[in-house]
Amino acid sequence: MPWLGFEDRRVAVGEAEYAVTRGGEGPPLLLLHGFPQTHACWSGVAPALARRHTVVAPDLRGYGASRAPAGGPQGEGYTKREMRGSSSS
């Protein structure tokens, strides 16, 4: 269920599919959660930020409702650099 004034959607990037919550108007503001959280960790602050920004809060690759193929034996596909690259797409 999306937060009040936000919408949930799914966004495909390569072989991954991200669950994204988005709301507000203004310059974009990308909120990335840490380990082991999901986008839901931003629910308390996102509505206030959305007064002046378009807030985008995805579940990172492999977290929460996002889906992606299994990583390689040394974590290939799930490095912070790779996740940043797909988040800015």
pLDDT of residue 61: 86
* Beta-bridge partners for 6: 23
Confidence category of residue 88, pLDDT binned at 50, 70, 90: low
Domains defined for the chain, CATH in brackets: 6-83 (3.40.50.1820)
What is the mean pLDDT of the segment spanning 13-21?
91
Among 7-21, 24-38, 75-89, whose mean pLDDT is lowest?
75-89
Q: CA dist 89 to 10, 47, 84, Å?
A: 14, 23, 9
Per-residue model confidence as pLDDT tens digits over 24-57: 999 999 999 988 999 999 999 999 999 999 999 9
Report helix, strand or coil for 86.
helix
